[in-house]
Amino acid sequence: MNATKRIALGALVLLGLLITGLPLVGQDAVPTLVPPTLVPTVPPPFVDGLPSESGAALMSSAGVARFGVLYNEPPFAELNVRGELSGFDADLARALAEVWGVTAEFVQVTRQTGVEMLEAGEIDLLLAAQPHLRALDSRIEFSESYYPSAQVMLVREGDAAQSLAEMTGRRIGYVMGSRGETAVQEWTRRTGIQVSAQPYVNFDQALSALNGSEIDGLVENRVRILRFVTQPGIARILTEPVMNEPFAIGLRRQDVNLRALVNRTLHFFLISGRLNEIHRANFNNIDYPSNTMIPYINVGDSAPTLSSVPGDVPYPPNYVVPRLQSDRVLRVAGINDVPPDAPESVRRLDTVHRSLINEFARRWNVSVVYVPGTTPYFELLPAGGADLYVGVVPDWNGAALVDFTEPYLVHGRQLMIETNGGVNSFGDLRGKAVGYFIDEPGAVDAFNEQALSARALIDDLFQLANENDAAFAMLAATDINLSAVWGDSLRLYPHLQANPDTLTLLKDPDGNPLYYSREYYAMAMPRNDLDFTLLVEYTMQEMILDGTMASIMSAVIDPSGIPRVEIWPGSSTYLGFSLSGTPSG
């Protein structure tokens, strides 16, 4: 072999080593970072979408949980030159593995390969700053979102715009192939707003264009903006998101037992404070965003374990969507006829539930059959007696039998006071008379506990036999002369609406009404009927986006108090059903 050939062969070997990431002679091995690529990848071999064994059982047997993570997305996950993976996602994965009693194994993914690797079984869970997008729901399933990410609009500091609507007709930049591009398309499609969209190769180029007044706004992920735009007085973010993109954990489709394990562990981390610790460690000691998750009741005093989860994958005997497509009938339970003499709060809640169901029926172009009776949801739904059950409190004790929607209504004990009555805190009730509803279980004990905490000696507790008398007992010139009424918010709200100038709720220093207890209402559905669950959830999200939900709920709650609902970006139709205000054909 001559010198020229030897040199050529050596160059090929060196190139091969560099490509494969193997260490060169005399060189210490270093972590190999695979950069994101926009080159289309080869689809993985077909994998049966109906697993028979839960990923929980596979992880338990192997003693390892394989987490697909990004290696270059701080503060969520980042691999340094020492081969150490840090960040919010990495720490959350370690915490999950720890309480499950397995070893966390990290597998690098990119934004282009993560979902495919999960489908192919190369990872057990995808924990990679992965937004829950409707387009992915046909391929994988998602946990509840654990981080409320969003695509937002960045404008120059001196720009007069305060809302997205004020960007109409202006020049909006985004990075090609990014979710910012998707966000601009989604925003303009939904709102009808017309803009001049300008693509850029990378974020630095787009940011320079904004600073140079080539564009008026730049759409990008909020966390990314806050990482790179650190100099004050240059630019600001509009409050309203362009597109929500909640980050969630991906898993195999219809692996309901693994999904339940992940969600229950997240709920436990939330109420135990572990999630806040992880967030503070990775976001400059900032507390975990409130209202990101609403935990079910009965989460438990300890984290769930892999051994507590069944290892199978149960499927419903019958699926709702095919039957809806054929007979166009939605069977609903939890709504019964209300007596004419029922309290105002009961009649209003009944109206809300019927309005919700009627709106589903209108959008899906189906009719409704109400299933009478009081059979509990955890018996009726598994037996196939209904498709939806409204007015249910999400409960981990029932989660092995049904699935729950996200909560659509919150209620709980509050304190109604006169607007100018001089009561600005619970302590101001010392020596005053307070009313309570005699038929409200536990009301007196709960009130006394709060009064004791505030060191407020109450002069008199007055029984209200009729909730319709609450406002009269406070405002009328009678011997009762109540200074406040303590009760469930559903019972107080009609009085607040009828007397907006004279009655209000006790508020915190930020002006938010104080809840002394909270209970959430959701809908229950057949367990692991994923397509029907998605249909219901999508429709609820569309009703949030177009204002229908706020309009319906205004009968029982101030719209600002509606529980936060995850919004998953994507199409406004699903399996032939309309999700938007325009009924399907």
- 1 to each of 5, 8, 296, how far by Cα in Å? 6, 11, 73
Residue 22 has pLDDT above 70, yes or no: no
Res 302: pLDDT: 95
Residues 134 and 263 in one domain: yes
Residues 90 and 131 in one domain: yes
Res 119: pLDDT: 96
Where is average pLDDT lowest: 22-36, 250-264, 505-519?
22-36
Q: What is the pLDDT of residues 444-459, one digit of tens each?
A: 999 999 998 888 888 7
Residue 282, in any domain of the structure:
yes
Residue 41, in any domain of the structure:
no
**Mean of the pLDDT values across residues 503-507?**
95
Res 13: pLDDT: 40
Residues 400 and 346 in one domain: yes
Residue 30 has pLDDT above 70, yes or no: no
Is 560 within 8 Å of 544 (Cβ atoms)?
A: no
**Mean of the pLDDT values across residues 62-76?**
97
Those residues whose C-beta lies under 8 Å from the C-beta of residue 36, and which sit 6 or more positions away, are 72, 110, 111, 112
Q: Which two tokens stand for residue 3?
A: 């010198």
Chain length of the chain: 585
In the chain, what percentage of residues exceed pLDDT 70?
91
Is 359 within 8 Å of 577 (Cβ atoms)?
A: no
Res 69: pLDDT: 98
Neighbouring CB atoms inside 10 A of 48's CB total: 7
**Mean of the pLDDT values across residues 74-79?**
95
Residues 234 and 377 in one domain: no
Residue 11 has pLDDT above 50, yes or no: no
**Mean of the pLDDT values across residues 514-530?**
97
The last residue of a domain, from among 308, 335, 352: 308
Residue 25, in any domain of the structure:
no
Residues 380 and 527 in one domain: yes
Residue 20 has pLDDT above 50, yes or no: no
Residues 60 and 94 in one domain: yes
- 558 to each of 388, 409, 505, 561, how far by Cα in Å? 25, 11, 11, 5
Res 480: pLDDT: 72
Q: Which two tokens stand for residue 22?
A: 């193997």
Residues 267 and 123 in one domain: yes
**Alpha-carbon span 211 to 214, nearest angstrom:** 8
Residues 287 and 236 in one domain: no
Residue 469 has pLDDT above 80, yes or no: yes
Closest by Cα among 313, 316, 360, 354 to 335: 354
The last residue of a domain, from among 280, 308, 336: 308
Q: How confident is the model at residue 162 (pLDDT cuts 50, 70, 90)?
A: very high
- 132 to each of 136, 244, 347, how far by Cα in Å? 7, 9, 37
Q: How confident is the model at residue 81 (pLDDT cuts 50, 70, 90)?
A: confident
Residue 581 has pLDDT above 90, yes or no: no
**Mean of the pLDDT values across residues 292-321?**
95
**Alpha-carbon span 104 to 95, nearest angstrom:** 9
Q: What is the pLDDT of residues 250-293, one digit of tens each?
A: 999 999 999 999 999 999 999 999 999 999 999 999 999 988 99
User: Cα angle vertex 393, ends 367, 492, to 5°?
Assistant: 95
Residue 172 backbone phi and psi in degrees, to 5: -120, 125
Residue 460 has pLDDT above 90, yes or no: no
DSSP code for 379: H
DSSP code for 20: H
Residue 43, in any domain of the structure:
no
Residues 427 and 471 in one domain: yes
Q: What is the pLDDT of residues 381-394, one digit of tens each?
A: 999 999 999 999 99
**Mean of the pLDDT values across residues 205-214?**
96
- 241 to each of 148, 547, 570, how far by Cα in Å? 11, 16, 15
Spell out the alpha helix ranges (H) of 249-343.
Answer: 256-272, 274-282, 320-327
User: Cα angle vertex 103, ends 97, 106, to 5°?
Assistant: 85
Residue 10 has pLDDT above 80, yes or no: no
Residue type, 63: G
**Mean of the pLDDT values across residues 355-367?**
97
Range of the domain at 559: 320-408+519-578
**Alpha-carbon span 470 to 467, nearest angstrom:** 6
Residue 32 has pLDDT above 70, yes or no: no
**Alpha-carbon span 228 to 208, nearest angstrom:** 12
**Mean of the pLDDT values across residues 508-523?**
94
Residues 155 and 229 in one domain: yes
Res 516: pLDDT: 95
Q: What is the SS3 assignment for 11?
A: helix
Residue 488, in any domain of the structure:
yes
Is 84 within 8 Å of 285 (Cβ atoms)?
A: no
The DSSP result for 408-439, as a single string, is -EEE-EEEEEETTSS--SGGGGTT-EEEEETT
Res 7: pLDDT: 42
Give the chain's end-to-end CA distance (angstroms, integer): 75
Q: What is the pLDDT of residues 308-319, one digit of tens each?
A: 899 999 999 999
Q: What CATH number does residue 535 fall under?
A: 3.40.190.10
In the chain, what percentage of residues exceed pLDDT 90?
81
Q: Which residues of 526-564 are buried (b: 16+ CB within 10 A; e: fewer)?
A: bbbbbbbbbbbbbbbbbbbbeebbeebbebbbeeebbbb
Residue 121 has pLDDT above 50, yes or no: yes
Res 459: pLDDT: 73
Residue 6, in any domain of the structure:
no
The last residue of a domain, from among 476, 505, 534: 505
Res 50: pLDDT: 72
Residues 176 and 197 in one domain: yes
Q: What is the CA radius of gyration of the chain?
A: 28
Residue 372 has pLDDT above 90, yes or no: yes
Res 49: pLDDT: 54
Number of domains present in the structure of the chain:
4
User: Cα angle vertex 117, ends 119, 36, to 5°?
Assistant: 135
Q: Which residues pair with 156 in a beta bridge?
A: 235
Res 4: pLDDT: 44
Residue 14 has pLDDT above 60, yes or no: no
Across all residues in the chain, what is the average pLDDT?
90
Regarding pTM above 0.75, the answer is yes
Q: Which two tokens stand for residue 127?
A: 């924990």
**Strands 150-156 vs 217-221: parallel, antiparallel or unpaired:** antiparallel
Residue 29 has pLDDT above 50, yes or no: no
Residues 224 and 96 in one domain: no
